[in-house]
A and B are shown apart, each in its own frame.
Chain A
Amino acid sequence: MTSRSVAQEFFEGMQSGDTGAVAKLMAPGASVSLVPLGISGTMAEDGADYLQRLTEAFPDLLVRVRRLFVTTDNAAVAEITIDGTQAAEFLGATNQEKHFDLDQSWILQVGPDDRITAVTGYWCQNQAYRRLGVKRLDKITITAR
């Protein structure tokens, strides 16, 4: 396996919400940082929880990898677009069955055994809230139709 193929399998797992498949790509104790959510923890707990919530909220989720490169320190860096239709509450935003598309960038640090040791995700949560109809950041659950 290459770092590139590891990354592609990671995003396939993100799309399907298959946290078991994602877990198999991880080194023991792999870390996760979801920067806009202020979450730093482990992929086994925090990362899996995020991926599960994402596919529960967007059961028709599509993940499109737009750019992928591997750096000399074996980090796979990807730009992706996720899109789907909201079917359940997500990060406090009430479900209004709105279509959602969001560009994100991820860094997957791959170890010498081709397993991921660290996952970092960047995106703009303001864009996410805008697409889900949230109007104010202090009242996430109050949305506009």
Chain B
Amino acid sequence: MSTDLTSTPVAGSPAAGLPGAATAGSAVAAFFDAYRVRDVERMVDLCADNATFRYVPFEVWARQRVIRGEGQVRTVGKPIWTALIDAFPDLSNVVATIRAADDGNVAAEVSIGGTQAKDFGVIACRGGRYDLPHLFLFHVDGDGLIDDIVAYWDTVDWKRQLDWLEVD
């Protein structure tokens, strides 16, 4: 096994300028409150200007390149959230757990679901509904703003619920 730890001291050793677990957890809870009412502007406002974004399962394999859901919140995250809400107008979420560390790292287990009203990516609209478990990982900065968002989910489960059986 190799270990390449790109972030994060262990909880209990917070450095100056870090938010602490309570502040970090509150920022993440506020983010999902905004997401639940589909307030994308508020979601973005809760993030730092240069916040980074990575939706791990989001990848489109074209003939010569792969387009990934990775970049910055304002340029990649916001358009994805907007498109998702456009395709699933009743999109909502249920937060199961929020676990925070003293160094600003937060893990949130959240179920996101909605009823499809338009095509979304390769998934043609058949009017289906989905509810899908997600694991979100955040980092919150010393100002209480989210400066990194990463999310994992299983697209097989998502596609099956929407009756779409193609891998690509």
A interface residues (Cβ-Cβ under 8 A, vs B): 2-4, 8, 11-12, 14-15, 35-36, 38, 62-73, 75, 77, 79, 103-105, 107, 120, 122-127, 129-130, 134-138
Contact = CB atoms under 8 A, between A and B. Distances in A.
Given A107-B135, A124-B56, A71 B21 contact: yes
Contact of A124 (B2, B12, B57): B57
B3 interface: yes
7 nearest CB pairs, A to B? A124-B57, A36-B154, A126-B155, A71-B99, A69-B105, A69-B8, A122-B135
Given A68-B5, A122-B153, 8 more contacts: A15-B1, A36-B156, A63-B2, A65-B4, A67-B5, A70-B101, A125-B154, A126-B159
A71 B152 contact: no
B150 interface: yes
16 contacts: A11-B1, A36-B157, A64-B3, A66-B6, A67-B5, A70-B10, A70-B12, A72-B102, A77-B137, A105-B135, A122-B154, A125-B154, A126-B57, A135-B166, A136-B167, A137-B160
A138 B165 CA distance: 6
Given A122-B153, A123-B152, A125-B155, A77 B99 contact: yes
Contact of B6 (A67, A130, A136): A67
A136 B159 CA distance: 11
A66 B167 CA distance: 27
B59 interface: yes
Interface residues of B, number: 42
B157 to A, nearest CB: 7
Contacts of A35: 133, 135, 154
Contacts of B4: 64-66
